[in-house]
Amino acid sequence: MTPSELKSVLRGVLPVQVIPFTATGEIDVKGLEENTRFLVDFAQGEGGRDIVILTNGSTSECYALSAEQQRIVIRTVVEASAEVPVIAGVSEPGTELTVELARYAEQVGAAGLMVMPPYYHYPTREGLYRHYEQIAKSVQIGIMVYNNPVVSGSWVPADLMKQIARLPEVIAIKENTTSIVQYYDMVRSFSPDELNLICGLGEKEYVAEAAYRCDGLVSVIANFAPEWSYQVYEAGRNKDFSQANKLLAEFEPYYNVLASVNRSHPYATIMPDTRQENYAYQAVAKSAMDLVGLHGGSVKLPMIDLTAEEKHKLKAALEEIGLIYAVVTMMTKTPETILS
């Protein structure tokens, strides 16, 4: 898929995958395949939906995986979703390592790449541009800039993004700023012909950004509730904010559990409030995957799994939403089998 071809389909919901592990900490390849096929089946339903699968991102715990494990994730997902485009995360602390993984992703058939600014040492503006330039020169598939200051310590402002966007392979931004002012600056800086703008912070942030322009959203929840996430996307695309807010309210039981887990799992950071994110959401999403009959499992240290009490509250929330039985029905399994 050429960069322009990817740009033409890069919209809608981008489920960012969680990765299931075996008891010994290896990739649960079969579980990952089944999770991926679940998303592919949803994407192909009702005449086709705007779905692009995103894997090996920070939600996928790429930072805790070896180079070989990252390759297994990318290869497994690409092979399991031949009918649906896959964007592979290839974010490494250094440019050479990023290029190496990017070339591998292209070789095994990824439709595009998600590339975060290099982390550990903060790059200069010139160094950041050269990072993307070197990657773009090394591949022939599309690149989505992952503009995430929480995990990289860097944020690419609109004027620097203008320079990076001149690279023909750069076709989209996954924008993770929590500032609607900064987001609007991106909107007015780029036309739809130049870059696709993808909300990187899920359904709630997407609804706000859709008031300006937002071509799609990256969602953790879409891993186990794709129908709900897609309805939020359509409401935002149609500027039906009454419907969007109604949908968000329907998922409040889940958000309440997530907020409770965040409070009980305080984190240590020097980042200011506007640049903080509690990654306990990974453990919540993985437990939800298990509860609906998909494959979630445990998180890798230094992240922490939910307690038994938290899992019980999450199960009650999913039952209140009606999600467990809805997903089980999609998977043609019985609730008794899943919840036993």
Tens of pLDDT along 291-303?
A: 999 999 999 999 9
* pLDDT over 50 (residue 339): no
Domain C-terminal end among 213, 239, 265: 239
More confident residue, 97 or 120: 97
Q: Are 223 and 234 in contact (CB under 8 A)?
A: no
Contact 60, 43 (CB under 8 A): no
Cα 52 to Cα 187: distance, rounded to the nearest angstrom: 22
Higher pLDDT, 274 or 267: 267
User: Residue 158's closest CA among 191, 120, 122, 189?
Assistant: 189
Query: Which tens digit of pLDDT belongs to each residue from 149-183?
Result: 887 778 899 999 999 999 999 999 999 998 999 99
Say if residue 10 is in the same domain as residue 36: yes
pLDDT tens by residue, 27-85: 999 999 999 999 999 999 988 999 999 999 999 999 999 999 999 999 999 999 988 99
Residues 29 and 68 placed together within one structural domain of the fold: yes
pLDDT for residue 335: 35
pLDDT score for 271: 62
Q: Is residue 244 part of a domain?
A: no
Q: What is the mean pLDDT of the segment spanning 215-232?
A: 98
- Total domains in the chain come to 2
More confident residue, 239 or 275: 239
Domain around 170: 3-239
Domain boundary among 177, 209, 239: 239
Residue 202 has pLDDT above 60, yes or no: yes
Q: Taking 50 as the threshold, does the pLDDT of residue 334 lie above it?
A: no
Q: Which whole number is the average pLDDT over 319-327?
A: 78
**Residue 132 belongs to domain with CATH number:** 3.20.20.70
313: helix, strand or coil: helix
Residue keyed to tokens 């994407």: 43
Taking only Cα atoms into account, the Rg of the chain, rounded to an integer number of angstroms, comes to 19
279 occurs within a structural domain? yes
Report whether pLDDT(338) > 80.
no
How far is it, in rounded angstroms, from Cα 143 to Cα 135? 9
